[in-house]
């Protein structure tokens, strides 16, 4: 019943389509881009519910989890991120994958709704550490469609894999296209501590 409600809102009321040609694995990281609007979260949750999937999780900066929004964001799968704290979020998320039979974690690599050429690699390292695939999901406002047509299995060659990830997203249009920046296709790796 919930799925039909999600589908009705997503397709009939909002007029959006979906193009999903990949398997939705029991455990996976979902890399979502372009992320240029707060509406992306709402749209993504509707899309996921319309697919019939439950319990998708996403990470947001901890400031969004204050009252009155905190209980709502936790209820819909939000995981607060404490950016100033020096703990390994990658290790924590890899442990979360290992502790569950089914776990989907959606992450926007831009980590902001503004143009950011320096994509964060946390989603990649989480998938690598948890030994799970990465589904690439694109929100295209111009076509009013969410696409999920590619799966990346992290090889450990971050530069090669990230080039493939960025090339997948190059033709999609976010709600505010000027806020989407692929940056350099051949990323420069910083020293990980």
pLDDT per position in the chain (193 positions), as tens?
789 999 999 999 999 999 999 999 999 999 999 998 989 988 998 998 899 887 788 776 677 667 777 777 777 667 766 665 555 778 878 888 888 889 899 999 986 777 777 888 889 999 999 999 999 999 999 999 999 999 999 999 999 999 999 999 999 999 998 988 888 777 766 654 4
d(CA 101, CA 104): 10
pTM: 0.84
Would 190 be classed as within a structural domain? no
Domain that includes residue 113, residue range: 2-179
Would 88 be classed as within a structural domain? yes
pLDDT score of 168: 96
User: Which contacts (CB < 8 Å, 24+ apart) does range 117-122 have?
Assistant: 117/181, 117/182, 117/183, 117/184, 118/183, 119/162, 119/166, 119/183, 119/187, 121/158, 121/162, 121/187, 122/89, 122/90
Q: How far apart are the first and last CA of the chain?
A: 47
Q: ∠ CA 182-186-191 to the nearest 5 degrees?
A: 105
Would 12 be classed as within a structural domain? yes
Would 174 be classed as within a structural domain? yes
Pure H helices in 14-169:
39-50, 70-75, 89-99, 122-130, 158-169
Domain count, the chain: 1
| Selection from 154, 28, 24 nearest residue 97 by Cα | 28
């Amino acid at each position: 019943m919930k799925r039909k409600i999600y589908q009705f809102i997503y397709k009939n009321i909002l007029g959006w389509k979906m193009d999903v040609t990949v398997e939705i694995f029991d455990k996976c990281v979902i890399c979502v881009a372009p992320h240029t609007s707060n509406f992306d979260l709402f749209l993504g949750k509707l899309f996921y519910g319309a697919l019939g999937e439950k319990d998708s999780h996403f990470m947001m900066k901890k400031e969004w989890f204050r009252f009155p929004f905190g209980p709502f964001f936790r209820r819909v799968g939000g995981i607060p991120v404490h950016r100033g704290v020096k703990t390994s979020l990658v290790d924590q998320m890899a442990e979360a994958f290992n502790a569950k039979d089914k776990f989907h974690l959606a992450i926007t690599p831009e980590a902001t709704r503004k143009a950011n050429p320096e994509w964060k690699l946390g989603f990649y390292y989480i998938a690598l550490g948890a030994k799970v695939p990465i589904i690439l999901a694109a929100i295209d406002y111009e076509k009013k469609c969410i696409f999920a047509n590619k799966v990346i299995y992290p090889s450990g060659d971050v530069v090669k894999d990230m080039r493939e990830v960025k090339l997948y997203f190059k033709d999609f249009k976010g709600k505010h296209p000027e806020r989407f920046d692929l940056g350099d296709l051949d990323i420069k790796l910083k020293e990980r501590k």
